[in-house]
Structure 1
């Protein structure tokens, strides 16, 4: 006789997502169930139906079809149908026939799933508990957000990322010199803020030539997928706002700055963070500003967080630098003259900080420090430092604290981070190779006439349409513009000795050549004009048979990337890449060590940007800088100014813009006059030395001291290294891969191949069914050496996806196991309950750093005795055995009342642990935020760079965190029933 009756409520064991089913009809052979919530009907064989009868007991909360909740007190049965008796939300007693239960009821909670006979495998339960444990540990770790990216652990980068990412809505200027890794710093900050929940949406604006590079870098280094937005993509969204199409939007500055309608859409999209690369191109002056500056200014007024990236913050002078700071904090930086006065004060502060090393014995040093230690705390530290009776340890501690206080309270160090190569160290040698060549007759003819005829320059400017001094220092461009001259019939590259010199170097297999015995050397050639770059490539092809891709501004993004990729390929790639000036911005060619400056740029910052494409942190070789020039030409005189006037090829000095502002016009006039040039070179050298001394004494000195504090940087690196060496990670990954159905094959060399199996669960990152999968390693050095290998960490998308599915889903939240043990009689029952803290709070609070979801384990035997401290989770898990699901359902059904009692008792046992968890979290929060708030409040009294909104935000955050922690509750996360059986069976 069938156990089914029309109107009864059942659930599918294999498809619990169908919701609550109702028996439509049945006979001795089959039963038909309607799942109204999912509009599905199923017919099952009554003998083998994978169904479980839904029966609630006292204490269960149920939902009626009309949306009312009821707490069950009792039930009664008539003609096979159950009627539940209990209290509704208003406290009234009511009856609810099971036919009127809500069809949408889901049995996601561990209690519901267990009591309705839905149990998972024991290894799933095991994985769930371990996932909770590791998630709790990692969320509180100080290296969260920094351990996953594929980067070298470079102190200044990690220090800046840690310092900036700690702040509420950070607004800073990242102004490290070329090659020190500003993109990595910005990526680290973004990655950390995304993981901790302080940022959910970000807008990244970069020059058009760098969009694909940013796209690749964010994906390859940080595993961040971004939406690349342009006009065609925007139009594809029709009337919808295209900026809502992704969490991270990457766009070209050229496109957005020229499109006011798209700017309005970006403003309406509520981003949390704005990142702007190459910010020195934003044009501002007191009388007005360019379209790009206006766009960023509007966006930054609406977006809380702002990162501006520039390697040359003063490229356009002090006003331009002020304009960048004005974007960060318009209230703080509103008066240019006041800003100039502050700049002059930095010399005094920098001198005082350097004088700390001379204390306690030097009285002059004491006077310097006393002049800037203008608050009670600093004076107290100074007293300790100058107290001759204090110990050496006390002196050292006071010196460090006072240095940090002075750095915090003076200057722009809080809003601007600038590291220089001399401060960071570890950069390769630069080797300067001037190459004097004879002027070809076509060029010499013009130069000679210019020397004897003062009016010819004006004629030449009119005839060629070129600017002064371009017409002088780019003779090939001048030659092309004079192509109507019958003497200029040949292409310029046929008659230019620089082409022949380059071909000779490419074929030279001596130590000084580009084809030496060590193999073909990669060579980057940079010329000022696109036409020159194209001509160089054509000359190399026609005269020497060399294929050299050209990289210039008129290529599409895909064409540029293709050219760069062909150059980067070590095995089949080309030996030479020819770039126009655009090749000196943003791109990283540090795998190459030979740079040929086919001509020279007019501005020193452009010269440094060219060299910076090769001379980057991580470069393993000396940089060979080859500069072919024509003897007696204006180009050779420009080279003298660069080399003799400012030592431009030896190292970046950061004062080229000031020198160009002072001498640029006079230099242009001196390019045809050796005597005048000698005078300008001498004056330039004098100003160069003075500027270096001024830089070392003033704001740049403060910035360098503040841009990387070694002790803090070491602490961050140690924290990242701790996670790198975490022995628990491989063990957890092995368990998770097995359960999620991912095959792992050891390839040797600490590399494994992860590939989808036939049983793999859908939707795992990088593991689509039918595809090969990917190679992975746990070792940072292996992943850095090979771009084709991903690095597995706690932050890898695959790990985060698997952990998220376990924690947020039902996987493993109910299980039943058998335990054979000679000391325990057969038929005894234990309930292993895992409770989890639940604390609803906005993601931006990053509550998890103080109170992540925390597991509380309770193990009870059938008599209610608490065995938690006597039997460990690992010890029990090693000895339990699986049981088939049909038997598990029967066992649970037979122990319903007993299980309900143990579940209720377990809640009380777990609740006893909650106060200590809350107290510990509150203590951790107060220890960090109280100190941070006290420091920030004191700092705000002395340093106007600390915004009042930042202080108020921190106070509000502390109050909100305290409320959230106080309201923490426990809920049952998982339960495993363990039943003992005869040890001999």
Structure 2
């Protein structure tokens, strides 16, 4: 019966939770098995299939697919398949072919291993029971999936991750301002969906310059290993689809968007999640769309979950913002003009939310005015009742606060784009450092002055200069070194610009003044950055690595690492404009803008490299400008026209669109500049007021609800501070053969021992292992130290080995106790709930594997409530395996009877476990379903498929939980011995 045949029933040794499998087909190389209860199919090599044939014996109880049960008396074989013979519940003699066994049945490996004399160590059995206990606790913790990542506990990031992962197939725009952690939010979302089984495959598309940073960030912070795919890697898999080579695939947008063949391969794969960074670069207008937008649109149509990341959702215009939302929900966002009209109505909703804080007012007239603003946006009886409670003078403070909170949440839920877009601003989040601007006016070198003066005298010379240098206007004016370099054929330009440009010597002086502090220098042009580094070396003996777009990813990382190293690193890093995109240098507080970008967004991106969450100091912005130069006039426009250096305002793009052409002309005309600054400031103030009054106010209210965030953080800290984790780790590491060395400072070094079990994450025999800590603060302070938690891959793998395999599911021990005569037999049975269901249902949040312990003496008396697991375990001693096998053989019949009786005892507890799980599920999902149904009547952002998916999930969970059964997970035989 060891050969595979279609219809045979097998179980997976490594994935027992899949349930009973059926052989679909097989040949001389492979066998394909369907696990119908879990909706999974697996194909194995015939020679190394990790499968165990299901074969029941006399006395075993089995269940048919139709629901009736049989007590097996005998069996026979017909064409390679087993036919069981026995009596059903009505006492009728029946036959049951194995192909008709219920898919939800589990093969009782512990029972059969015990009765055939296969026993494990007692400490393995103890660890298995404790693993089951801890797994049950952790799976029900509301912070599951958010506690493991190596991140600070920041309110808005955790709220967003918790809110989004609570939805079916989330499709959202993460639009926090620069420095607020969109990448971390995306990582938290992905990590939780993967950990809970609601996602298995994800495609991550990022700008080419950020691919390696994403790769490192996902590994270092979230312990997620991704496949970085490029053309070279793709060609290495010419025999198949390269996008099938990994579960998590990271790819460059530029590479994929310019390659239709690779796009077709990506679209041919099944993905659960699509993540697109810097999504504002996807070009779209009502008349046409760029190749990148078209590619993402096709992918987002086929992929259920979509995350778009952008720090500038509106800076490229309302039309561009609409294009992003259209990718997320094309049915909801069909008409651009309708969308613009909706945007205009958000002012009224924001005013209504403000009016809630004004109630109850001091006078009747004020109360009436506040109620009128609120009445204008609510139209249902429940909201009116809450409003009445809030305005009622006789309501107490608690009633008013509850009504105010509920009304606020209703308005936020029902209006605006809050369900598809999350945007936090620095003003809303708070806690950011101040910015201090230091402007140094320098004399204009004669080589630059000569050209600028000629431009001022001769209107035609500027056109000639543009042709001669090949530079654009106004670049030729605000980047004089680039102009000088382009005119290099002139004999007067024999020396490099850095030999006479006072900004170079000024920078050397600044490096001396800041002492040991690090300085990030950003210049617009790559050649400027390279030549500036050469000037620093020649004139000051300063070694400065250069970070620019011409470097490979490895070279960029090497330059950034040389700057970040506290002990042996360089004091200064020189970047081209690409240095202001994506990289985080919050460990540095001095930013030198060697020149100024002409676009406000680029200016803010530069500052945003330092001004981020985690920055501990005020940002020092150093700007050298030449007196009475175009660069000095550009600086005035930034400072006086839009207050660009004090904080990010999010309107720079609109101002540049309005005045960019005028600005280019005003760089040579002081009088025009004065007028331009006045007009810019007026529009700047107007735009800020519009944002303050309208949708941004709603988004800020909705992007982080403090009470909800506080609960998530509390749940994470509960797991962080769990005293059981270090005790469990100590036992598990010892059993799995991992050496732990205390390095001090709450840090340990984990290293494989010669006896280590194979396949543990991060530990390979013969290699050094890794350093880790249970302290979140310690892990955050050290990039080279991992954060050990219940969610760490090593811990989860050790738990999975216990839960999914045979390790420790049988044992035999001796008990010496003066009150118990020698030669007595006891059985300690650990039953486990089994609820086969598709992973996407995440049934564990309501019914994780639950242990039912039954301790029987040889007379069948249940001692479970009288003798605890821990109290018994510490009094047991081990026995040699040969002796254990002989003892089991001698008591074989008695053990079978106790196993059967133990099952009956355990079954009495199953109904209460199932009922409690169904109650938890219904309370959670029924409330959410009711809320979404009510919300859908007001806010079209609630998709119909979201409502249907939630209803289907509830029905499927109800059915799955109702079908929960108990199976014997582990059994320990205890034999008493005389105390003499």
Q: Same fold (TM over 0.5)?
A: yes
Q: In the alignment, what sits opposite 1:543?
A: 539
Residue in structure 2 matched with residue 501 of structure 1 by the alignment = 506
Whether 2:929 is the aligned partner of 1:924: answer no
Residues 1:553 and 2:539 aligned together: no
Is residue 308 of structure 2 the alignment partner of residue 335 of structure 1?
no
Deviation for aligned residue 1:375: 2.3
Distance in 2, Cα, partners of 1:741 & 1:60? 37
* Runs of 5+ consecutive residues of structure 2 not aligned to the other structure: 1-15, 17-45, 63-68, 77-81, 98-105, 362-366
Q: How many residues of Structure 1 are paired with residues of Structure 2 in the alignment?
A: 906
Shift of 1:655: 1.0
Secondary structure of the 1:288 match is coil
Q: Which residue of 1 aligns with 2:85?
A: 87
> Which runs of no fewer than 5 residues in structure 1 stay unpaired?
1-16, 18-36, 41-53, 63-68, 77-83, 97-105
Secondary structure of the structure 2 residue equivalent to 1:860: strand
Deviations 1:877-922 (A, max 9, x none): 1111111111111110011111111111111111111111111000
Query: Pairwise mapping of residues 478-627 of structure 1 onto structure 2 (< 5 A)?
Result: 478-506=483-511, 508=512, 513-515=513-515, 520-627=516-623
Q: Corresponding residue for 2:277?
A: 277
- The equivalent position to 1:458 in structure 2, one of 424, 447, 463, is 463
Q: Would the alpha carbon gap of residues 39 and 943 (structure 1) be closer, same or farther in structure 2, given more than 3 Å must change? A: closer
Shift of 1:620: 0.6
Aligned twin of 2:827: 831
Which residue pairs with 2:450 in the alignment? Answer: 445
1:757 and 2:753 aligned: yes
Q: In the superposition, relative to structure 1, how do residues 93 and 274 fare at CA in structure 2: closer, same or farther (>3 Å)? A: closer
Question: Which residue number in structure 2 is paired with residue 848 of structure 1?
Answer: 844
The answer to whether the 8 Å contact 2:73/2:86 transfers is: no
**Rounded Cα–Cα distance in structure 2 between residues aligned with 1:333 and 1:533:** 44
Q: Distance in 2 between matches of 1:504 and 1:86?
A: 90
CA deviations over 1:288-310 (Å, ceiling 9, x no partner) = 11111111111100110000111
Q: CA deviation at 1:531?
A: 1.1
Q: Is the 8 A contact 2:74 2:86 kept in 1?
A: no
> Compared with structure 1, are the counterparts of its residues 664 and 876 closer, same or farther at alpha carbon in structure 2 (3 Å cutoff)?
same
Q: Which moved more, 1:367-376 or 1:853-862?
A: 367-376
Residue 182 of structure 2 is matched in structure 1 by 182
Q: Secondary structure at the match of 2:345?
A: helix
Corresponding residue for residue 803 of structure 2: 807
Residues 275 and 308 of structure 2 are in contact (CA less than 8 Å); yes or no, is this contact kept in structure 1? yes
Q: CA deviation at 1:324?
A: 0.7
* Aligned-residue offset at 1:118: 0.2
Secondary structure at the counterpart of residue 432 of structure 2: coil
1:304 aligns with 2:309: no
- 1:701 pairs with 2:697: yes
Partners of 2:228 and 2:251 within 8 A in 1: yes
Structure-2 separation of matches of 1:462 and 1:616: 41
8 Å CA contact retained: 2:108, 2:968: no
**Counterpart-to-counterpart distance in 2, 1:799 and 1:191:** 16
Q: Compute the displacement of 1:514 (Å).
A: 2.5
RMSD across aligned C-alpha pairs, in angstroms?
Answer: 2.3
Q: Deviations over 1:721-751 (max 9, x none)?
A: 0100000101111111111111112221111
Aligned-residue offset at 1:691: 1.3
Residues 539-594 of structure 1 show CA distances to partners (whole Å, capped at 9, x for unaligned) of 11121111111111111111111111111111111111111111101000011111
Query: Cα distance, 1:315 vs. partner?
Result: 2.5
**Inter-partner Cα distance in structure 1 for 2:695 and 2:549:** 36
The answer to whether the 8 Å contact 1:85/1:93 transfers is no
Alpha-carbon offset, residue 89 of structure 1: 11
The answer as to 2:654 corresponding to 1:649 is: no
Aligned counterpart in structure 1 of residue 944 of structure 2, from 940, 945, 948: 948
Structure 2: how far apart are the matches of 1:89 and 1:343? 71
Tell whether the 8 Å contact from 2:596 to 2:603 is kept in structure 1 after alignment: yes
Name the residue aligned to 2:147.
Answer: 147
Aligned to 1:389: 394
2:867 maps to what in 1?
A: 871
Residue in structure 1 matching 2:417, options 412, 424, 445: 412
What does residue range 8-407 of structure 1 map to in structure 2 within 5 Å? 58-60=58-60, 73=73, 87=85, 109-361=109-361, 362-407=367-412
CA shift for structure 1 position 75: 11
Cα separation, 2, equivalents of 1:906 and 1:766: 40
Measured against aligned partners, the alpha-carbon deviations of 1:146-166 in whole angstroms (never above 9, x if no partner) come to 111111100010000100111
Deviation at 1:239, TM superposition (A): 2.3
Match of 1:435 among 440, 450, 464: 440
**What do the CA deviations read for 1:165-222 (whole angstroms, capped 9, x no partner)?**
1111100111111111000000000000001111100000111111111111101100
Contact 1:72 1:85 in 2 (8 A): no
The 1:587/1:55 distance shift into structure 2, 3 A limit, reads closer
Specify the alignment match of 1:103 in structure 2. none
Measure the CA separation in 2 of the matches of 1:267 and 1:741: 44
Maintained 8 Å contact 2:443/2:626: yes
TM-score by length of 2: 0.90
Distance 1:855 1:291 in 2: 54
Asked whether the 8 Å contact 2:740–2:749 carries over to 1, the reply is: yes
Deviations 1:392-448 (A, max 9, x none): 111111001100110111101111111111111111110001111111111111111
CA distance in structure 1 between the partners assigned to 2:257 and 2:440 by the alignment: 42
Give, in whole Å, the separation in 1 of the partners of 2:154 and 2:895.
55
1:71–1:86 Cα contact (<8 Å) kept = no
1:718 to 702, 714, 720: 714
| Matched ranges for 1:460-475 at <5 A | 460-475=465-480
Contact map agreement 1:592 1:614 (CA 8 A) in 2 = yes
Paired residue for 1:3? none
In the alignment, the residues of structure 2 paired with residue 942 and residue 107 of structure 1 have an alpha-carbon distance, to the nearest angstrom, of 51
- The change in CA–CA distance for 1:661 and 1:812 in structure 2 (over 3 A counts) is same
Residue deviations 1:322-348 (CA, integer Å, cap 9, x gap):
111111111111111111111111111
Cα distance in 1 between the residues matched to 2:273 and 2:123: 41
1:257-282 alpha-carbon deviations (Å, 9 max, x no partner): 11111111111110100000111111
Alignment partners' CA distance in 1, 2:944 and 2:490: 68
Distance 1:611 1:57, change over 3 A: closer
The structural deviation recorded for 1:86 is: 6.6
Contact 1:55–1:116 (8 Å) recurs in 2: no
Q: Match of 1:979, SS?
A: strand
Structure 1's 75 and 416: CA in aligned 2 closer, same or farther, altered over 3 A?
closer
Q: 1:798 is matched with which residue?
A: 794
Q: Secondary structure at the match of 2:874?
A: helix
CA shift for structure 1 position 605: 0.8
TM-score by length of 1: 0.90
Q: Matched residues in 1 for 2:219 and 2:801: separation?
A: 22
